Amino acid sequence: VENDPSATREIIAALYPHTGGGHVLGITGAPGSGKSTLVAALAAEYRRRGLSVGIVAVDPSSPYSGGAIMGDRIRMRELAGDEGVFIRSMASRGSLGGLARATADTVRVLDACGYRRILVETVGTGQAEIDIARTAHTTLVVHMPGAGDEIQTLKAGIIEIADIHVVNKADLAGADRATAALRALRDLADEPMDSSEALWCPPVLRAVATTGEGVPETVDAIEDHVAYWGLNDRARERERARAAAELEGVLRNELLRLAMEGISPERWRTTIEDVVARRIAPYHAAHELLRTFLNAQD
């Protein structure tokens, strides 16, 4: 799935009926906030509770065999050898879009393999977060104490995507302030007017991932969200929106691919020349190409 996108379609088609049993948890947050440490601690807690865990660590910035990924491997070493845990580290090869696709498909493979909780770590880089929020059922945002944190949080629009906030490194100074600031931000977020069903209020938890403090409580909160996800119409609506967004994306790519296949390299070149020479506007050029393509379909 990672190495051969052309084979992925068949693989995913075969696996798809077996997916849907795993709960996908996105873990995002600023670089160095302790995501990997927390993921390892969460996985260990899940193992204690008897649930199998798949882990996908995504690093959009580091090179193929970057230090961060080696670091993750070492950090997660204690989980290695446990058959109930599968760890996959992925580095970006090209576009973030490609990474999002490979991540989503890797998650599906783990889901089909029967891993009950699938933890996906991404660095908070904006688009990657949004992508992961689309793939995940539950999005956990890791924060750390420190000046300016709250403002960064606001900028990244992270309040909207978080189902659970964890202030990690609660052993360091400023954890109280960070926790209070996050709670205040969360309470500012608009609440829907109709309260006919129970609404999810993202909890703000504290943890020390290195010692495991606060980790069982974090797993409890995740499991509360798993239950919420399973029962709630709003969550099901989100699942539908996710499916629609994915379908739309695939359709867009497929249509583009088909259209490009239907256009000769010569036609493509002359059209570009026409656009550069201002003989035709891009919008009209695209429409003419599209018309040629559609006529060829009849």
The residues of the shown chain that bind ligand GTP, judged by CB under 6 A, are 31-37, 68, 71, 123, 168-169, 171-172, 208-210
Q: Give CA–CA dist 290/106, Å, rounded.
A: 34
Residue 89 interaction partner, one of ligand GTP, Mg ion, none, beta carbon < 5-8 Å per kind: none
Residue 27 interaction partner, one of ligand GTP, Mg ion, none, beta carbon < 5-8 Å per kind: none
Helix, strand or coil, per DSSP, at residue 132: helix
Q: Cβ of residue 26: shortest distance to Mg ion, in angstroms?
A: 13
Q: Cβ of residue 10: shortest distance to ligand GTP, in angstroms?
A: 33
Check if the beta carbon of residue 90 is closer than 8 Å to that of residue 102: yes
Task: Kindly tell me which of 213 and 246 has the beta carbon lying closer to ligand GTP.
Answer: 213
Helices (H) and strands (E) in the chain, counts: 12, 7
Task: Kindly tell me which of 181 and 207 has the beta carbon lying closer to ligand GTP.
Answer: 207
Q: 25-44: which residues touch Mg ion (CB under 5 A)?
A: 35-36
Q: Cβ of residue 37: shortest distance to Mg ion, in angstroms?
A: 8
Q: What is the dihedral of CA 42, 147, 123, 115, to 10 degrees?
A: 10
Residue 37 interaction partner, one of ligand GTP, Mg ion, none, beta carbon < 5-8 Å per kind: ligand GTP
Check if the beta carbon of residue 53 is closer than 8 Å to that of residue 116: yes
Q: Inter-axis angle of helices 233-262 and 282-297, to 10 degrees?
A: 80
Q: Cβ of residue 73: shortest distance to ligand GTP, in angstroms?
A: 11
Phi, psi of 273, deg, nearest 5: -60, -40
Residue showing the smallest CB distance to Mg ion in the complex: 36
The angle subtended at Cα 202 by Cα 196 and Cα 204, nearest 5°, is 145
Q: Give CA–CA dist 83/184, Å, rounded.
A: 42
Q: Cβ of residue 32: shortest distance to Mg ion, in angstroms?
A: 8
Residue 134 interaction partner, one of Mg ion, ligand GTP, none, beta carbon < 5-8 Å per kind: none
Q: Which residues bind Mg ion (CB under 5 A)?
A: 35-36
